[in-house]
Amino acid sequence: MKKIDPQQWLAESVIPLWLKKGLDTTVGGFVENLSHDAEFIPGPRRCMVQARQIYSMAVAARLKAGDSEALRLAAAEGSALLMNRFSCGDGSFRYSITETGAPLDETPDLYGQAFALFGLAESFSLQPDPAFRERAKKLVAYLRRERSVKGGGFTEIENGKPVYRSNPHMHLFEAALAWQEYDPAPEWQALAGEILELCLTRFIEPASGALAEYFTDSWERETEGGRFIYEPGHLCEWSWLMGRYQQLCGRNLETVRKRLFDLSEKTGLDSARGVLIDQVWSGGASKLRSARFWPQCERIKAASQLGRAEEARAGMAALFRYFDTKVPGLWNDTWDENGTFRMQPVKSSSLYHIIGAISEFAKFPK
């Protein structure tokens, strides 16, 4: 496809399309999926999607990528839906609602809680209503009361049982950093610091620098045949978040964040396609050679923040191959090892990754 300026593509193709097709006219907020003809696909609404889209609208408004007032109004609708339809009395947020707004899946998954906290922060950034801050504090109190793990961190819930994963903590770290940026209350830095320490002491294997995904209840890495799984995209995402922590808190994390990024480049990059693959075994052998587009976004963010211009530009070039669709402003999600893109719905939640990548990439001098 022809070379396109990322910010121009965002402003001219993506945001107008998603403001027109991606808003839920039934209960407010945002739809989950569009077809590759940009038509609405019916289905439940997840808490995570609403939170991510609040962020996407907020950042697009800051980038002046479209009608700022329309973007702010869309974010406000998502904020209202998050507060009114997903909020539970114990402080948690339910997983999903029906198309008419009725409660559907009451599971308070940690991944969803992290994004609810993140969405509340972005809502507060646009409209500093104390209700958003108080609801966020109530959510953190629920996590500390109901989900704390003896060795630090919090439980994830899967099929009604506790499991132990690094990925939800990464997004909880992200949410705490967002709140720290917008609100001076000390508990945000405390939460971010606790998660960072868990990452540095338990999630990352000291010898290799690889950051594992799955753990036991004592934060020991789960293994298969003596190996554990890591995801190159998450190495980049943690690297970028550590950079944000460094900017906000002043702690020097240069060595660890560079090591995470370099490991991702060394073991996760498919040189033939120029993309990060999905999963790698500790030791460096490929596990899953499909390449979803979100790791490419996280590569761009980490490389841009680290000043690695060559890798950032290569990542953006690879990312735009996913955007070669018949309707401009949509995207493919998964590039299989055989060289073809899977036919899947276009997920609105993916805009969170795209806008984050374009926002960080835009900081490079022209």
Tell me the H-state helices in the chain.
Answer: 6-9, 15-21, 47-62, 68-81, 110-126, 130-146, 167-182, 186-198, 232-249, 254-268, 293-306, 309-319, 351-361
Give the residue extent of every domain in the chain: 6-361
User: What would the pLDDT profile of 297-341 be if each residue is shown by its tens digit?
Assistant: 999 999 999 999 999 999 999 999 999 999 999 999 999 999 999
Spatial separation of the C-alpha atoms in residues 207 and 74, rounded to whole Å: 46
**DSSP letters along 137-155, please?**
HHHHHHHHHHSB-TTSSB-
Contact yes or no for 187/195 (Cβ under 8 A): no
Q: Is residue 2 predicted with pLDDT exceeding 60?
A: no
The pTM assigned to this predicted structure is: 0.97
In CATH, the architecture of 6-361 is Alpha/alpha barrel (1.50)
Crossing angle (nearest 10°) for helices 68-81 and 110-126: 140
User: What would the pLDDT profile of 92-141 be if each residue is shown by its tens digit?
Assistant: 999 999 999 999 999 999 999 999 999 999 999 999 999 999 999 999 99
